[in-house]
Amino acid sequence: MPERIPEINLLPEIREENPIYAYLFYIFLVLIFISFIVMTYLYFSTNNKLDDALTKSEELSVQRESLFTELERLEADEGSQFEQAVAYVESHQLPTSILIDKLNDLLPKHAYLSEYVYNNLEVEVTTEFETLDQVANYITDVTNLDYVSDIQLDKVESFLLKDEDSDEEIVDFTTIPRYESDFSLTIDKPKLKEESEKDE
């Protein structure tokens, strides 16, 4: 019996590839694709936000400039109003000290200026006199002042002196009671200023 010739396979042996590598390759491709999509989205999204931020920044800059302009205008107006207020006060300011001094100088002996209230161009004065004649003479003297345009006697009341340590009135029939008088004076502002400037 003839001897068999062994089978010889000259074709290269085909090995089946492991499918896990193919899966990993496809997964890697998918991940790259997803990453590309995400990066693209983030790029456009960030770009849009940057454009919005730049627009808002420009709007805020315009508002800031507008506010600074308004602030400068208000400061200029306030300065002007302040100057106007100062000018108004200075124009209405009266040298009342000279008036008080003169009212004191005109008082007779033992007469006193007990109260003085200045309101606009009117002055209210309360004085104490020993006699009614002194009251009349005082009215005449004050009326003769150039800067007093009018004087009115509002009230005259007599009173007795009181002991400082007691609430009881001192009853002494040899003593003439004192008189408390309330006056209202109307002041001529230009003449009072002129008189003050003369004294300076």
Residue-wise pLDDT tens digits, 96-137:
677 888 888 888 888 888 888 887 778 888 999 988 888 889
The two tokens of residue 121 are 């161009």
Give the dihedral sign, CA 98/100/103/107: negative
Last residue of a domain, one of 66, 93, 120: 93
Asked whether residue 183 is domain-assigned, the answer is yes
Q: b/e for 118-138, b at 16 or more Cβ within 10 A?
A: eeeeebebbbbbbeeebbeeb
- DSSP code, position 146: T
Last residue of a domain, one of 60, 93, 126: 93
183: pLDDT strictly greater than 50: yes
Do residues 65 and 107 both lie within one domain? Answer: no
Do residues 107 and 124 both lie within one domain? Answer: yes
Last residue of a domain, one of 42, 72, 93: 93
Do residues 100 and 189 both lie within one domain? Answer: yes
Do residues 89 and 118 both lie within one domain? Answer: no
138: pLDDT strictly greater than 60: yes
What would the pLDDT profile of 64-92 be if each residue is shown by its tens digit? 888 888 888 887 777 677 777 666 555 55
Q: Residue 182 — pLDDT band, cuts 50, 70, 90?
A: very high
Do residues 102 and 162 both lie within one domain? Answer: yes
What would the pLDDT profile of 11-28 be if each residue is shown by its tens digit? 555 555 567 877 888 888
C-alpha dist (Å) from residue 16 to 19, 20, 22, 43, 109: 9, 12, 12, 44, 141
pLDDT of the residue at 26: 86
pLDDT of the residue at 11: 58
Do residues 39 and 108 both lie within one domain? Answer: no
Do residues 28 and 114 both lie within one domain? Answer: no
Do residues 122 and 195 both lie within one domain? Answer: yes
Do residues 79 and 100 both lie within one domain? Answer: no
Do residues 127 and 82 both lie within one domain? Answer: no
147: containing domain: 96-199
Do residues 87 and 149 both lie within one domain? Answer: no
pTM of this prediction? 0.47
pLDDT of the residue at 6: 64
What would the pLDDT profile of 24-60 be if each residue is shown by its tens digit? 888 889 999 999 999 998 888 888 888 888 888 888 8
Counting the structural domains of the chain, the total is: 2
What would the pLDDT profile of 146-175 be if each residue is shown by its tens digit? 888 888 888 888 877 655 454 555 545 445
